[in-house]
Amino acid sequence: MKNEKRVPVFVLSGFLGSGKTTVLLKMLEHCKNKGWLPGIILNELGEANVESHLFENEKVFELLNGCICCTIQDDLKETMNQLIVEMEKQPIDILFIEGTGVANPLEIQEVLLSSQYINQFELMSIITVLDASHYLEYQSIFSSSSEVRNLMKEQTVCGSLLFLNKTDLIPSGQLEKIKQRITKIAGHEKVMIEGVYGQIDPEVLFEKRIQSVLIGNSHSEDEHHPHHHHHSTVQAIKLENVPPLKQKTFEKWLKQLPTNVLRGKGFIESEGSEQIVSFQYASKKAEFMPVPKSLNRKPIIILIGMGLDENQIRDHWKQLVK
């Protein structure tokens, strides 16, 4: 390894649609400006990673069909071992791990602080991204499940840096209330910053926030903690054989999906132009971006949510494409 130094690791955590990938892309931009070579481990709930085009020319390792917890911890270790082998040929300067929106970052921390990896990797920070526009809704016993509330609590407590994202989507008077709720869960010592579109000062993002004292204590009281199956009610529904669609019509269809569809992503072909467009859907907002033909992407739609009625969603889909 380069200079025999440990590789700094940054973990990105946060609930579905909070903006983790946007923050990761900002961090990669900073790496490029600094001339650092990053490694990236991406974890997806579905069978396909429809965001890989965002990481062209990067060293990316994918973990599909789960969140980094329970049995997939073994897959994470396998990926880490594969990364170590590749680093013999091409060392990396920094490693990013982005968990799914339903991953407990403690599970990732356990792997990184284990004796197997502690001499090669240095856990710098767990950055938890929180969606300000949905935060109060997700915390309400009337509009969310105890599973969602517990998971978000774990992600908040485990985060060493809390980034309150999408603050532009809430009334100014609500921001203080949200921050108070987060502080009540996380404590006053936790660093919390706010912003929009993942815009944070890189110096803040890349700061070391996890102290090395954790190394000797990585299996203390949490050694036998129960592995919660947060993904038990989380589903990823894949829609294939997608015909060409009008972007505006498709966007309207997305916004009419049941409220428990928390995230959508994939590719569609714009009707009449044969242009493949990638889309990201969260917080009832859709963003579209043209994809170069050279990437050869096929239209596919991935919808992720809690306790989804797949028949209802497929019926809704049939209404669009009939």
Same domain? 181 vs 270: no
Same domain? 266 vs 146: no
Same domain? 18 vs 159: yes
For the domain that residue 39 is a member of, what is the CATH number? 3.40.50.300
- In this predicted model, what pLDDT tens digit does every residue of 169-190 receive, in sequence order? 999 889 999 999 999 999 999 9
DSSP string, 106-171: HHHHHHHTSTTTTTTEEEEEEEEEEETTTHHHHH-TTTS-HHHHHHHHHHHHH-SEEEEE-GGGS-
Q: For residues 320 and 322, what is the distance between their CA atoms, to the nearest angstrom?
A: 6
pLDDT band at 208 (very low <50, low <70, confident <90, very high): very high
Residue 96: per-residue pLDDT:
95
3-state DSSP assignment of residue 69: coil
Average pLDDT, the chain: 82
| Distant-in-sequence, close-in-space partners of 63: CB < 8 Å, separation ≥ 6 | 41, 42, 43, 44, 72, 75, 76, 79
Residue 252 has pLDDT above 90, yes or no: yes
Decide if 47 contacts 65 (C-beta within 8 A). Answer: yes
| Distant-in-sequence, close-in-space partners of 47: CB < 8 Å, separation ≥ 6 | 64, 65, 236, 238
Domain count, the chain: 2
Domain region containing 147? 2-228
Residue 144: per-residue pLDDT:
74
Same domain? 237 vs 218: no
For the domain that residue 266 is a member of, what is the CATH number? 3.30.1220.10
Residue 127: per-residue pLDDT:
95
Mean pLDDT of 253-257: 92
Whole-prediction pTM: 0.76
Q: Which residue has the higher pLDDT, 53 or 11?
A: 11
Same domain? 181 vs 246: no
Same domain? 178 vs 53: yes
Q: For residues 284 and 17, what is the distance between their CA atoms, to the nearest angstrom?
A: 10
Distances (CA, A) of 25 to 12, 160, 172, 317: 11, 19, 27, 31
Same domain? 173 vs 314: no
Q: Which of 228, 261, 289 is the last residue of a domain?
A: 228
| Distant-in-sequence, close-in-space partners of 236: CB < 8 Å, separation ≥ 6 | 44, 45, 46, 47, 302, 303, 304
Same domain? 17 vs 107: yes
Same domain? 201 vs 86: yes
Q: Which of 199, 228, 257 is the last residue of a domain?
A: 228
- In this predicted model, what pLDDT tens digit does every residue of 279-293 receive, in sequence order? 988 877 888 988 888
Q: Which of 228, 259, 276 is the last residue of a domain?
A: 228
